[in-house]
């Protein structure tokens, strides 16, 4: 079954996920490609399974680092910072799947980057490609007031089971798994191939399991497979599902080879029959053991060691700026946010939440555009060890979460975050815009989604009345239909597109409204307009104006747009969507974040190679 033994660890005590043999195999396979022993297609398939993804620019790679459940130690943050400084642009990007990505990495540097990260227990294995991808989990697991139970040990057990699994890297396409323990679906489990929702029935721990969720083409909320599955059965059920997908999935048509298409193709009853047969097969082989009792015994207690000495504000400032960022694209620090006289109070309102453990809080460090510099990673490591439990969790909102922070140190922690350029308030609010990397590096992207992300972040920061108006709602941006920015499930979502005006290409975005998720399923936004990029701040203003004027008491932004007719939003944006051939200015033909005239360049992607 699994290629690696399960290790009973969790959270701050987790052991290594790395294997030097994986890196040796990467080097050997690269040599075989360079000597002509294997084809370019063979090499591409292999390097994707090791987290190395081609960019739209020649001779550079994106490297994705698998961060199971988003958990990183202080030493791992430092290693991530060192790799960013040595081999990338001096910064890393937090993804919507709790990974770290580097861009513009030379292939010749990939081996050493992998070895540097392996020394801290991190791996790139199966971070990309047709594999079981990084298994994500609720970042509040273990400390949330309303969680059913801590899902971390269950998610980690499944991570270790599938990492290096014989089938995990030879699937028809990517396969995504998420665990959620709270009533709020912080992990967006409902849009995953396997979505595990914690439940307790009759005193027994288990999960509600949905399958076949996904966005991109044919957005689908996961189908209910089990209302309650005892926890000791989770690995054998997952094994059976992966086997069915491996045997029957479509390996030929990359646009319809996710598991949701297989279920639709077979029909639910036929798929369920194949699954039941395969589960019986797995059990006849002896099943797959999962020690649910040991997982249930894991309790993440408060740190019982003397914390590290906190660096001074001056030391933090120097360390944060110790590595220059460089290269093409939008750099960290170029998102301009207001300087507020009441910055600490504003930060406290949105970025700090009470843990269920008395005397402790969790703190969200907001990362505009999901970026943190090499120096900032080192600072975050130091602060985790001085003020938290020595770890941090990367979130699907592209931020960093500290847990186990004592409430009486918050002001001095905030001063140090501010000194590092990490003190932005309004985390997890409307102002905290999520964006994929877009056409800055991605081969499939149509538009520069980071450019729009920066513009909307600055716009909302300069209009705090909108942020305070929307108590529950989000904005997400993707540069193409694949939806790495998760725009399909946003209250307001943007998907990059293009229109022809005369004989020229003009960048625009599809605008969708009404997306959202909970533990009962996902709602997908409805496309209500197509707006040129330089009119999108006005579009946001009008959509929020509709919400202000027509919402019901207590109604979230997403719920409002699900309630009202789509035409309400379409009509409010109708004049912005129209553009006569003689109307655009030269600026309209320049994408946000760019300086030259827009050209639609969509290359063959590697998402399903």
Q: According to the model, what pLDDT value does residue 183 have? A: 94
pTM: 0.95
Beta bridge mates, 499:
506
CATH of domain 51-124+310-428: 3.90.480.20
In this structure, of 29-33, 43-47, 302-306, 540-544, the range with the lowest mean pLDDT score is 302-306
Q: According to the model, what pLDDT value does residue 605 have? A: 62
pLDDT digits (tens, 9 = 90+) for 450-501: 999 999 999 999 999 999 999 999 999 999 998 999 999 999 999 999 999 9
Cα dihedral sign, 313-338-361-98: negative
Question: What is the location of CATH 3.90.480.20 in the chain?
Answer: 51-124+310-428
Confidence of residue 8 (pLDDT cuts 50, 70, 90): very low
Average pLDDT, the chain: 94
Confidence of residue 9 (pLDDT cuts 50, 70, 90): very low
Question: What is the location of CATH 3.30.413.10 in the chain?
Answer: 129-300, 437-589
Q: How many CA atoms lie within 13 A of 6 on its CB side?
A: 20
pLDDT at 604 over 90: no
pLDDT digits (tens, 9 = 90+) for 173-210: 999 999 999 999 999 999 999 999 999 999 999 999 99
pLDDT at 570 over 90: yes
CATH of domain 129-300: 3.30.413.10
CATH class of the 437-589 domain in this structure:
alpha beta
Angle between helix 313-320 and 410-419 (nearest 10) = 30
Q: According to the model, what pLDDT value does residue 31 have? A: 97
Place of tokens 């709270």: 182
Counting residues of the chain whose pLDDT is more than 90, the rounded percentage is 91
Q: Helices (DSSP H) in 322-373: which residue ranges?
A: 343-351
Rounded CA-CA distance 455/447 in Å is: 14
Place of tokens 């979460």: 401
Length of the chain: 609
In this structure, of 28-32, 175-179, 502-506, the range with the lowest mean pLDDT score is 502-506
Rounded CA-CA distance 557/491 in Å is: 6
pLDDT digits (tens, 9 = 90+) for 91-130: 999 999 999 999 999 999 999 999 999 999 999 999 999 9
């Amino acid at each position: 079954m699994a290629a690696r033994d399960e290790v009973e660890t969790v959270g701050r005590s987790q052991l290594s996920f790395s294997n030097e043999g994986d890196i040796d195999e990467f080097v050997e396979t690269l040599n075989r490609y360079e000597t002509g022993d294997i084809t370019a297609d063979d090499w591409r398939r292999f390097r994707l399974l090791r987290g190395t993804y081609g960019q739209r620019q020649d001779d550079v790679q994106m490297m994705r680092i698998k961060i199971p459940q988003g958990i990183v130690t202080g030493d791992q943050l430092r290693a991530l910072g060192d790799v960013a400084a040595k081999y990338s642009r001096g910064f890393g990007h937090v993804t919507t799947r709790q990974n770290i990505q580097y861009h513009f990495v030379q292939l010749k540097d990939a081996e050493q980057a992998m070895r540097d990260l392996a020394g801290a227990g991190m791996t790139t294995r199966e971070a990309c490609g047709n594999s079981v991808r990084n298994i994500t989990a609720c970042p509040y697991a273990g400390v949330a007031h309303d969680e059913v139970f801590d899902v971390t040990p269950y998610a980690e057990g499944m991570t270790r089971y599938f990492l290096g699994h014989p089938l995990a890297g030879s699937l028809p396409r990517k396969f995504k798994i998420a665990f959620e323990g709270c009533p709020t679906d912080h992990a967006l489990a409902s849009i995953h191939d396997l979505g595990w929702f914690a439940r307790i029935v009759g005193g027994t721990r288990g999960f509600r399991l949905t399958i076949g969720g996904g966005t991109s083409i044919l957005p689908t909320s996961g189908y209910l497979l089990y209302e309650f599955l005892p926890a000791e059965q989770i690995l054998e059920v997952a094994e059976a599902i992966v086997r069915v997908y491996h045997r029957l999935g479509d390996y030929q048509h990359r646009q319809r080879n996710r598991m949701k298409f297989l279920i639709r193709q077979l029909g639910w009853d036929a798929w369920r029959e194949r699954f039941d047969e395969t589960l019986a097969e797995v059990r006849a082989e002896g099943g797959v053991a999962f020690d649910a009792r040991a997982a249930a015994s894991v309790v993440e207690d408060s740190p019982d060691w003397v914390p590290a000495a906190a660096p001074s504000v001056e030391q933090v400032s120097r360390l944060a700026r110790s590595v220059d960022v460089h290269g093409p694209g939008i750099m960290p620090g170029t998102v301009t946010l207001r300087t507020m006289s009441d910055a600490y109070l504003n930060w406290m309102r949105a970025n700090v939440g009470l843990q269920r453990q008395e005397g402790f809080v969790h703190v969200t460090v907001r990362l505009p555009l999901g970026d943190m510099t090499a120096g900032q990673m080192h600072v975050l490591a130091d602060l985790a060890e001085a003020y938290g439990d020595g770890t941090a969790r990367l979130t699907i909102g592209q931020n960093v979460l500290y847990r186990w922070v004592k409430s009486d140190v918050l002001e001095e922690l905030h001063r140090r975050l501010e000194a590092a350029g990490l003190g932005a308030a309004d985390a997890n609010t409307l102002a905290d815009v999520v964006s994929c990397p877009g056409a800055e590096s991605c081969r499939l992207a149509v538009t520069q989604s980071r450019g729009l992300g920066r513009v909307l972040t600055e716009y909302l920061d300069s209009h705090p009345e909108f942020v305070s108006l929307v108590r529950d709602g989000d904005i997400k941006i993707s540069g193409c239909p694949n939806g790495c920015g998760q725009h399909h499930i946003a209250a307001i979502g943007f998907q990059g597109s293009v229109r022809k005006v005369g004989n020229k290409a003009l960048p625009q975005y599809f605008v969708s409204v009404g997306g959202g998720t909970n533990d009962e399923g996902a709602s997908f936004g409805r496309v209500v307009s197509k707006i040129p990029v330089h009119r999108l701040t006005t579009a946001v203003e009008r959509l929020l104006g509709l919400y202000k004027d027509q919402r019901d008491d207590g109604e979230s932004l997403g719920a409002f747009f699900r309630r009202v007719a789509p035409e309400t939003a379409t009509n409010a944006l109708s004049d912005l969507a129209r553009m006569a051939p003689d109307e655009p200015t030269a600026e309209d033909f320049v994408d946000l974040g760019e300086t030259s005239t827009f050209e639609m360049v969509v290359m063959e992607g590697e998402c399903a190679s």
